[in-house]
Amino acid sequence: MVAITEADCTGCDLCIPHCPFEALLPLTENPVERKHKKRPVVVVASQCVGCLSCIGSCPTKALHEILMPPLSTQSPLLLETEDPETATVQRWGKKGLGWA
């Protein structure tokens, strides 16, 4: 599975198109205590399958792998609360210019 260290995420959005499962999405609002001006991207745990396609896409290394416990049957991210409020992202159509 992957997680994002929010303090290291600048909100550049570069990782978003690297997820084929649309599990990387921007928050709708920037948390008040945040030092960066732009809202962060988060991992939507219910959509992340742990494929690690995104892992090298972050220039600030905010994206990192978290290991699943050996006997776990669900993502450790799902032990937290509900999915956060995330914004919709415009994506290239698969029949258009190709997957971005």
Residues lying near ligand SF4 in the complex (CB under 6 A): 2, 4, 9-15, 18-19, 21, 23-24, 41, 43, 48-54, 57-58, 60, 62-63
Tell the smallest beta-carbon distance from residue 85 to ligand SF4 (Å): 16
- Tell me how far CA of residue 29 lies from CA of 35, 36, 69, 78, in angstroms: 13, 12, 32, 21
Tell the smallest beta-carbon distance from residue 90 to ligand SF4 (Å): 16
- Tell me how far CA of residue 27 lies from CA of 43, 74, 89, 94, 95, in angstroms: 10, 23, 11, 25, 28
Which CB sits closer to ligand SF4, 38 or 93?
38
- Tell me how far CA of residue 2 lies from CA of 63, 92, 93, in angstroms: 7, 24, 26
Which CB sits closer to ligand SF4, 52 or 87?
52
Which CB sits closer to ligand SF4, 52 or 68?
52
Which CB sits closer to ligand SF4, 11 or 76?
11
